[in-house]
Structure 1
């Protein structure tokens, strides 16, 4: 597999920037959904537009969502939205941004949010 990703849970993984051409490989690897957390244009002209990645993911048979989150500025609203996507989308889910770090933070924060809600 040419796409390198890190599993954070049995049904969730993160990775860095993906290309539209990576979507079929991810579907073959068993992923059912993709979340894009990198805003369009953040990486300059080399970064593929989210629309192209979303279309390729859907063409490969996966669900796909665009939830842009600014690097270094993850908000509580971002976490709530991300947690909702994790509830909505079929797993396993792969989320990506520039390096995977933002997605990791979102996932960990969403897990904490769920834990807080179940205790409260």
Structure 2
């Protein structure tokens, strides 16, 4: 079974913990990945962000680690997410445990942009 990806805009999609090889991410058309899931949030079986970043970069992707605690998104988290969306090569795939945290970050960033 493949990882469900939810497009939120032409330049961003979200997913639950991305388990495909990064080559599959690139083949799907994504240029960048934002990791919003903190290291070991799901226990020791979860790959560390450093390993994900290394594999992604070897596959030609831009990968950034922006850990965000579930249920505790801060204004700084939203600002950083928005900056990544403004500067990373698109399209971007953001992932966390379920995809919900990334969706909330995107909606908050979009709202912040519309108020500027």
- Hey, what's the Cα distance between the residues in 2 that align with 1:35 and 1:3? 16
- Aligned residue for 1:8? 8
The count of aligned residue pairs is 116
- Aligned residue for 1:82? 81
Partners of 1:3 and 1:22 within 8 A in 2: no
Question: What TM-score do the two structures reach when normalised by structure 1?
Answer: 0.93
- Hey, what's the Cα distance between the residues in 1 that align with 2:36 and 2:21? 16
- Aligned residue for 2:21? 22
* Deviation of 1:41 (Å): 1.2
SS at match of 1:90: coil
SS at match of 1:94: strand
Question: What TM-score do the two structures reach when normalised by structure 2?
Answer: 0.96
* Deviation of 1:57 (Å): 0.9
1:58 aligns with 2:57: yes
* Deviation of 1:4 (Å): 2.0
SS at match of 1:56: helix
Of residues 57-66 and 2-11 in structure 1, the stretch that sits farther from structure 2 once superposed is: 2-11
Which consecutive residues of structure 2, in runs of 5 or more, have no partner in the other structure? none
SS at match of 2:71: coil
- Aligned residue for 2:31? 32
Of residues 61-70 and 1-10 in structure 1, the stretch that sits farther from structure 2 once superposed is: 1-10
Structure whose residues are more often helix by fraction: 1
